């Protein structure tokens, strides 16, 4: 008991030291919140915690770029702040599985191979805005990270990739992130499958969907794309898919439609 309290204190001191190693200047923090409005729509305690987690992510992860792209403090803070949002109440330990974040100027074309049902291997190109690999570095296209700040339409590459990291924190990505006590994997999967089936039938009927069609690729993509909408267009997701929204609230321990409601200035 005494030992665990001592350990807790050591951890707290380590975190405090990391935060003071990576302070975020006030003006840069304010600019980041203005640039990414969904980060700003929070109560002061959440915003302070988000800023603390952002400092810790700046300290714990290694940021690098490819080619001529120069990484600025503003870029690193923009990435870390958005990455911190999903784990605001869950803790950064879910991101312990990787260290490197590699930023490309733009999207990347990757040559892929896949075998069909008859075992014939086909080659194809895939255009990527980001990618999270188990244990490997996380890649992000800076053009896409920037674009996410300009619209509230539910597109957010950083949240997408870090939702995959959360999913992979307990093995291969399968659409099941760490679940809270009282939420079973089958209850979670039932909710996910139902909403995924509804999306697929909307797409077949050529109906407009709130959740990006890419989510129909599979359970793990459905969770990642849903997470983008959950954090950046929460009220719309709650209105369109209330049961699925409620499950996401239980997993993330957040209710961004309620907590993220902008307060009107008088």
237 binds Zn ion (CB under 5 A): no
Q: Are 180 and 250 in contact (CB under 8 A)?
A: yes
211 binds Zn ion (CB under 5 A): no
Copy the structure tokens of residue 162.
């870090």
Distance CA 263, CA 85 (A): 19
Q: Are 76 and 239 in contact (CB under 8 A)?
A: no
159 binds Zn ion (CB under 5 A): no
Q: Which is nearer to Zn ion, 88 or 132 (CB)?
A: 132
224 binds Zn ion (CB under 5 A): yes
Give the x-and-dash track for 170-209 against Zn ion (CB under 5 A).
----------------------------------------
Minimum CB separation of residue 50 from Zn ion in Å reads 23
Minimum CB separation of residue 164 from Zn ion in Å reads 6
Closest by CA to 141, choosing from 154, 149, 133, 131, is 131
3-state secondary structure at position 73: helix
What's the angle, vertex CA 85, arms to CA 57 and CA 89, rounded to 5?
95
Minimum CB separation of residue 221 from Zn ion in Å reads 5
**Helices 219-232, 242-252: inter-axial angle, 10-degree rounding:** 90
Minimum CB separation of residue 165 from Zn ion in Å reads 11
Stretch that binds Zn ion, among 54-62, 75-83, 169-177, 224-232 (CB under 5 A): 224-232
Minimum CB separation of residue 120 from Zn ion in Å reads 25
Minimum CB separation of residue 204 from Zn ion in Å reads 22
Give the x-and-dash track for 4-23 against Zn ion (CB under 5 A).
--------------------
Stretch that binds Zn ion, among 139-147, 175-183, 222-230, 241-249 (CB under 5 A): 222-230
Closest by CA to 90, choosing from 257, 245, 259, 253, is 253
Closest by CA to 192, choosing from 171, 175, 179, 169, is 175
Residues engaged in binding Zn ion (CB under 5 A) = 221, 224
């Amino acid at each position: 008991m005494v030992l665990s309290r001592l350990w807790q204190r050591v951890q707290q001191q380590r975190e405090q030291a990391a935060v003071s190693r990576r302070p975020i200047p006030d003006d840069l923090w304010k600019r980041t919140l203005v640039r990414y409005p969904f980060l700003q729509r929070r109560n002061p305690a959440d915003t302070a915690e988000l800023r603390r987690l952002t400092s810790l992510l700046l300290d714990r992860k290694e940021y690098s770029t490819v080619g001529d792209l120069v990484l600025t403090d503003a870029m690193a803070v923009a990435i870390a702040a958005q990455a911190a949002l999903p784990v605001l109440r869950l803790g950064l330990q879910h991101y312990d599985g990787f260290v490197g974040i590699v930023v490309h100027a733009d999207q990347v074309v990757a040559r892929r191979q896949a075998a069909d049902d008859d075992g014939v291997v086909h080659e194809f190109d895939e255009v990527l805005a980001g990618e999270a690999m188990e244990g490997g570095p996380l890649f992000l296209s800076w053009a896409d990270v920037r674009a996410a700040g300009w619209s509230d339409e539910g597109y957010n590459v950083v949240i997408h990739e870090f939702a995959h990291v959360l999913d992979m924190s307990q093995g291969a990505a399968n659409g099941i992130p760490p679940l809270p006590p009282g939420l079973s994997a089958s209850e979670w999967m039932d909710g996910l499958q139902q909403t995924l089936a509804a999306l697929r039938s909307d797409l077949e009927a050529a109906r407009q969907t709130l959740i990006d069609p890419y989510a129909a690729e599979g359970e793990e993509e459905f969770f990642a794309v849903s997470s983008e909408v959950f954090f950046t267009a929460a009220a719309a997701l709650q209105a369109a898919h209330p049961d699925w929204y409620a499950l996401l609230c239980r997993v993330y321990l957040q209710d961004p439609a309620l907590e993220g409601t902008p307060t009107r200035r008088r």
